[in-house]
Structure 1
């Protein structure tokens, strides 16, 4: 008996901490993957060897994270005392495995009857990491312009015509909350890339479920799952005084956790008077109070300041493209904006058939904008939320899904316009109390006629109202209250998706959209209030194909969008931008995205070699538009390039080295409604090389170097349309360089 106890004690450590084999292989080829980082809470990290194997000592099942530069990160439960096979999916997935949440319906992409593009976190980090511009511009049908650092304009299918500045006519969500303000504008420049993990973009009108906006919908998602304890930091430097640094920490708590990050980015800018300084802090907590509930709350604070150099005419552009518009420096043309968001989202699963998701937010903003012609100050407060019920059931033998919910936003703003005396606010010209209310209800019915054929019927009822109470008016006009209440608008959508086989499918849809004018379009900077400005309304017809054929992924769509009461811009004699309805426009287009992995073998020096191509053909024209005695009918739509082409090469090699190469061609485009002035076509080339790896178990690091505008092209990344005094051009930087380093530790 004593001998028995002796041997029991002797072998007890072996039984408690038996060595377990973990083998990591490619999901498609079944080839072993060397260099996979394996991490876990309370676990000393390891890296797989040349045979894709790691030996791990532990006593009971443990959840571990597996990551590799060429594969999607994966978490998996590992069981002791046996060989565990872990399958990693390549970053290039076939479309049959991709699931998206577009149109509030979590379904595979092949079952989505609509144009949806995804921007993955890895795609955001193919470039300099200072903005979303380059990554978004690699997608067909999408155009992000940066007229000056931090001054964004987004065009989805040519929707930026009415956006001389800012983001309009596109609905934006961040972690399920409406990030677009109640007045229809979106402060996209408040977000840093660290606040975004992945993005879905719905192209074309999606008002049946997302409310106002003819351009489309952008849904940003930040990190929502804390699966490790981690500290990380980044540093990025570049030409024109660019410095960006970030600190972040993640702490897992039970099945949730908290995370915090701080980012500070500043630069002097390529042009005179184009400096930017942005500080962003985000604090998030994710919890799971019970098996049926998920709860997330976030605080986002952004302090942004940037200078506005202004547009140049052709003579000024030729003399010195780096100069500011005369008057911009003396008048300190710039924007200072401080904004605080608080959000709360809750998911409750009533049963396997019924679920509710609700998100609420509150926001306060201080905004100050000295400009050449005036000086604007605003203090805004808004709140709102969105709720959605989803029920999965059957009618007879046919599966159905019913989605119903609503969204409400309220905003109140004290807006004051002053004279501008050498960059300082002078006498008040006019002051308004602005109240904006936007609300809509939405319903969607999905019916699976078979496991290959899905039909979707949806519609929304939309309500909007503006109240403009003028309390001060220094002109001859008496202060007055103005109100504009838009008639309730019902917006329908019908969509069909048919899977030809497991790897391909076709889809078609007819959808309506509408977009009321924003307060910035109704209440202009010279003091006029244009209550006669009508909402844009349109109908979109769309037909597309998606499929995976061997190594090729193909996504192609054709559309025709008939838009009525199109809102366009013009300038008065003082150069103030005003707005008008421009009759009808016909917007025909084709968008195609193709990617393929020419080579993938984790056992060779080159792990994988991927090519991507995106073509956009937007053939838009004014169908019926006359202004000031001029007939522009038949002219090309202002500010829209007929053809763009993007080519990308991504190479990942052994030991963590990588190369990204991007070429972008943009066709010439008209800068005024008369089509008498054009921006020339141009080619942009950029590249980034780097090394990314995990070492010593728990450490990971990356070093990178990149160049933008390698060909040293002269171009404008965003022009002023229908510009007063022919000031159309906002010159973008010539060839410039950047580099950075990242370091992280998991514990």
Structure 2
């Protein structure tokens, strides 16, 4: 009797367990997939066998998440029974890429603009200490690094007016305007751990993103809601490089939080080029109901980096590692501490109408001893961005309407002192600054038929700045001075024709408006250039896209006519100043080809992916005469005519991988007269490693080399430099290596 009871209890308990049989296969080839990780109820793990099969014995119903490298993760719920699951491989096809450019989520084939997408896979092809190499793979995009952590972003040549920092490019981070209202962007405050994906809109995009001829960059770093995870990584390399990261992802109800801390240090290739940066990020995503979602972000960044300064050709020949004379003695450097706090709210009025609003606050403490002076700034800013989206119909055809606005206000106490051996001396001038900008935007996307999409966008922009000089050369206040730019209406008109399921053509006409930044008006020598006019541009563009599963092709041509172009020059004291240069003609071609020679193969070599990106920039000064010099017809300063990037990615079945990148950059004119050029160069980078999943752990060991050919080049030059100090020598051949470890729990 006792044995019968025990048998009954065993049978009864086994009946409570779900009898679930799952077979997992490839979505395209339908072949079974081995070693797929199944995380059941976010706790217990299972692996598929050689036939792609697995039996799950857990209490029914169960929630299962499927993971396999090279495939998209999938979440499904099961009762008892037999199930067939197909995993989709991570696609290189344009037809499978969705972007949110112009505040409208659409497949890239339906976007009527030039948009480049930078993913984690792009970042992970390199050393992950900066965004430079990943962005520079993309046609029409170039990030220069004059010294470690000193970036200039060029979208279609827009770094012309950026002697330092990022200007004329609007940057957003998790839907927060990361570009200050004065038009500058401290991109170096972010670590790559704070960026999981980026979308680059190339050319004037004022209909949605306001003032700016260069374009817009949207950076995203959302919490991972599919798993609870702890991850850590460490990297070391030449020139005293070290980087440590710790991250945590935790589900909270239907939402989640994510935290990360990164510390990065290096001594630098050149004398006086060390970097020390710590970044903490805390983000949250909380669905309140089916109608509402809340997003939060906290970013704390502490950055210190030294500025070695530019050299002339003779100094580079003598010793490219040396700093500019005076840089060390005066401790030429930047120390910057920033806190950014944002709150986002999404409200769905119905299935067709929603509102997305983000507000933010930020503080900034900035110290900049330089050879000639010592600059201190203490700033506070706030702003918001809101948009309403409605999906309706017009004439029986679908119509999407987007309306919204953005406003930013910045207040800064700015003081310039003398610099005595790296210590702030007597105050030279002191200002209370206010910068503000805002705009309203409207956009309509109308499907004229199943293949033709018409887009009309408008924005109304206003901006200005105020300089209240408290102390000048006479040691007295001079009163409030201001400059207000008249409201400017910026239109954008575009058509996209979907030729078939995998190809499309588009054409667009858009205008841009870019007022001078406060740093271009208020110089380090104390002068105020209120006569500096805003740049105005008109862009004409056509493009063709072909996106199949193993082959992508994109070809874009454009013509940008820019009036009142802002250029730089340096006076005898080494102070960078700005002036309007008449007009410029900027004609360009961008071509991208991606091809999967092998993709998810069953052999030892699983993937072989090839890629090429070509940028042709044929930019000229149209009308540019200053005093006795006439530079009309010259090549635009700081812009290479040709740039070609080639990539090879290889992945094996046992976890070994190789990433190889070659970049050719054509010679670059360094002054408006076109009498000095940086010679062309070939840059080769390579990374190789091993990735493996061991139970609940993810392990990656990697190593790599930058500048494999040991080229002598400058990744960021000083333009129109006084005393011929044009060059900022970049590192020679250097190695790095590291390890990553993650735990899914």
| Superposed CA offset, 1:368-415 (max 9, x none) | 000001000000000001000000001231110000000000000000
In 2: Cα distance, 1:24 partner to 1:185 partner: 50
In 1: Cα distance, 2:63 partner to 2:522 partner: 56
Which piece of structure 1 moves more, 79-88 or 514-523?
Answer: 79-88
Q: Which residue number in structure 2 is paired with residue 202 of structure 1? A: 201
SS of the residue aligned with 1:58? strand
SS of the residue aligned with 2:81? coil
Which residues of 2 match residues 497-516 of structure 1 at below 5 A?
497-516=496-515
In 1: Cα distance, 2:477 partner to 2:63 partner: 69
Q: Which residue number in structure 1 is paired with residue 219 of structure 2? A: 220
Q: Which residue number in structure 1 is paired with residue 396 of structure 2? A: 397
Contact 1:225 1:286 in 2 (8 A): no
In 2: Cα distance, 1:340 partner to 1:505 partner: 43
Q: Which residue number in structure 1 is paired with residue 716 of structure 2? A: 718
Change (3 A) 1:722 1:475: farther
Q: Which residue number in structure 1 is paired with residue 488 of structure 2? A: 489
Q: Which residue number in structure 2 is paired with residue 125 of structure 1? A: 124
In 1: Cα distance, 2:2 partner to 2:388 partner: 66
In 1: Cα distance, 2:638 partner to 2:551 partner: 33
Q: Which residue number in structure 2 is paired with residue 705 of structure 1? A: 703
Q: Which residue number in structure 1 is paired with residue 9 of structure 2? A: 9
In 1: Cα distance, 2:245 partner to 2:12 partner: 46
Deviation at 1:689, TM superposition (A): 0.5
Change (3 A) 1:9 1:187: same
Q: Which residue number in structure 1 is paired with residue 57 of structure 2? A: 57
In 2: Cα distance, 1:409 partner to 1:54 partner: 55
TM-score in terms of structure 2 length: 0.98
Deviation at 1:300, TM superposition (A): 0.3
SS of the residue aligned with 1:528? coil
Which piece of structure 1 moves more, 498-507 or 35-44?
Answer: 35-44
Q: Which residue number in structure 2 is paired with residue 83 of structure 1? A: 82
Structure 1, unaligned stretches of length 5 or more?
none
Structure 2, unaligned stretches of length 5 or more?
none
Which residues of 2 match residues 400-411 of structure 1 at below 5 A?
400-411=399-410
Q: Which residue number in structure 2 is paired with residue 742 of structure 1? A: 740
SS of the residue aligned with 2:288? strand
Change (3 A) 1:624 1:61: farther
Q: Which residue number in structure 1 is paired with residue 97 of structure 2? A: 98
Q: Which residue number in structure 2 is paired with residue 729 of structure 1? A: 727
TM-score in terms of structure 1 length: 0.98
Contact 2:94 2:548 in 1 (8 A): no
SS of the residue aligned with 1:316? helix
Q: Which residue number in structure 2 is paired with residue 645 of structure 1? A: 644
Runs of 4+ in structure 1 over 6 Å off: 1-7
Q: Which residue number in structure 2 is paired with residue 631 of structure 1? A: 630
Which piece of structure 1 moves more, 254-263 or 485-494?
Answer: 254-263
In 1: Cα distance, 2:159 partner to 2:40 partner: 46
Q: Which residue number in structure 2 is paired with residue 244 of structure 1? A: 243
In 2: Cα distance, 1:224 partner to 1:709 partner: 34
Contact 1:564 1:584 in 2 (8 A): yes
Which piece of structure 1 moves more, 13-22 or 444-453?
Answer: 13-22
| Superposed CA offset, 1:211-266 (max 9, x none) | 01111110000023422111110000000000100111111111011111110000
Q: Which residue number in structure 1 is paired with residue 46 of structure 2? A: 46
| Superposed CA offset, 1:419-438 (max 9, x none) | 00000000000000000111
Change (3 A) 1:40 1:710: farther
In 2: Cα distance, 1:386 partner to 1:137 partner: 29
SS of the residue aligned with 2:188? helix
Q: Which residue number in structure 1 is paired with residue 150 of structure 2? A: 151
Deviation at 1:49, TM superposition (A): 3.0
Q: Which residue number in structure 1 is paired with residue 170 of structure 2? A: 171
Deviation at 1:629, TM superposition (A): 1.2
SS of the residue aligned with 2:31? coil
| Superposed CA offset, 1:594-623 (max 9, x none) | 101101244211111100110000100000
Deviation at 1:126, TM superposition (A): 0.7
Q: Which residue number in structure 2 is paired with residue 665 of structure 1? A: 664
Deviation at 1:312, TM superposition (A): 0.3
In 2: Cα distance, 1:526 partner to 1:16 partner: 80
| Superposed CA offset, 1:49-68 (max 9, x none) | 33333332222343333333
Change (3 A) 1:41 1:576: farther
Deviation at 1:36, TM superposition (A): 2.9
Contact 1:92 1:597 in 2 (8 A): no
In 2: Cα distance, 1:376 partner to 1:194 partner: 30
Change (3 A) 1:226 1:587: same
Residue 371 in structure 1 maps to residue 373 in structure 2: no
Q: Which residue number in structure 2 is paired with residue 285 of structure 1? A: 284
Contact 1:701 1:744 in 2 (8 A): yes
Contact 2:205 2:511 in 1 (8 A): yes
| Superposed CA offset, 1:92-125 (max 9, x none) | 3322221110011011111110000000111111
Which piece of structure 1 moves more, 32-41 or 567-576?
Answer: 32-41
Q: Which residue number in structure 2 is paired with residue 66 of structure 1? A: 66
Residue 563 in structure 1 maps to residue 569 in structure 2: no
Contact 2:516 2:532 in 1 (8 A): yes
Q: Which residue number in structure 1 is paired with residue 438 of structure 2? A: 439
Which piece of structure 1 moves more, 245-254 or 309-318?
Answer: 245-254
The count of residues paired between Structure 1 and Structure 2 equals 745
In 2: Cα distance, 1:195 partner to 1:52 partner: 36
Deviation at 1:457, TM superposition (A): 0.4
| Superposed CA offset, 1:71-105 (max 9, x none) | 23x23114143333333333333222211100110
In 1: Cα distance, 2:63 partner to 2:373 partner: 59
Contact 2:665 2:682 in 1 (8 A): yes
Deviation at 1:340, TM superposition (A): 0.2
Residue 22 in structure 1 maps to residue 22 in structure 2: yes
